[in-house]
Amino acid sequence: MLSSLMAGASEDAATRRETRPLSVVEAAALAQVPALDALAFLQPEDSVKIIAEVKRASPSRGALADIPDPAALAALYEKGGASAVSVLTEGRKFGGSLEDLEAVREAVSLPVLRKDFISDPYQVFEARASGADLVLLIVAALEQPLLQELYDLIGQLGMAALVETHDATEVSRALDLGANLVGVNARNLSTFELDRDLFGRLADQIPAGVVRVAESAVHSADDVAHYRRDGADVVLVGEALVTGDPLASLAHFLAV
């Protein structure tokens, strides 16, 4: 599944590049206002922090929510106390777009994460040109030299990388990059099965000073509390917010 998602995202980026070449996107990225300091928003505090996601669909669940106005949803997330907003920009399986990202960027004063299947510097320049402050990098999808190249480019453009891992080896690879924002995704991106306890098994391998982000398998405040007890500084939540009342859900999550 991960290989298919990466290939599709790469093909779609290549199609966009035909009409908007790298030189144009790079110029737009460099002309953007400076990115927000996402790490400042996500630093550990006494209570858990939430990255709230704009997510229309997923390969495992299919359609989740129409979200005709992603900007309005993101504004609700900010009102409800989220510390950042994640925007799925992958179109084939998640129903997202860079236009969603741009709309959200205009609507909130929080850091905005481009969540996609990134494998090419072109996509990183696209992210900054569209106003992203954070970019997701999936360790499992990238060989270390390319992972390092993309990580370094994200930093050079003033953004932060959320480096996503799924096992101890990937955590080690993330730390080798110098990553200061490391996610552990409970969803196996090959089988799409969930393991809520994975974060707890890996958290001790993420040293102090690195922000720990728990991703996936959040359905209720109990799940957020479970991650918090296991050492999560930040929890990324998508499905539970878009399929329910965002403000009520955020209130419950932030109260754990």
Residue 103 CA neighbour count, 13 Å, CB half? 18
Question: Is there a catalytic annotation at residue 188?
Answer: no
Question: Is there a catalytic annotation at residue 109?
Answer: no
The one catalytic residue among 164, 170, 239, 249: 164
Question: Is there a catalytic annotation at residue 216?
Answer: yes
Question: Is there a catalytic annotation at residue 239?
Answer: no
The one catalytic residue among 86, 97, 102, 115: 115
CB 8, CB 92: distance < 8 Å: yes
The one catalytic residue among 83, 97, 130, 185: 185
The one catalytic residue among 49, 216, 239, 249: 216
Question: Is there a catalytic annotation at residue 55?
Answer: yes
Record the tokens describing residue 85, joined without a space.
């907003």
Beta strands per DSSP E along 197-255: 211-215, 234-237
Torsion of CA 193, 169, 162, 74, to 10 degrees: 10
The one catalytic residue among 78, 90, 215, 239: 215
Question: Is there a catalytic annotation at residue 185?
Answer: yes
Which residues is 62 bridged to in the sheet?
58
The one catalytic residue among 26, 49, 55, 86: 55
Exposure string over 3-29, b if 16+ CB within 10 A, otherwise e: eebbeebbebbeeebeeeeeeebbeeb
Question: Is there a catalytic annotation at residue 93?
Answer: no
The one catalytic residue among 53, 90, 102, 239: 53
What's the length of the chain?
256
Q: Which residues are designated catalytic? A: 53, 55, 115, 164, 185, 215-216
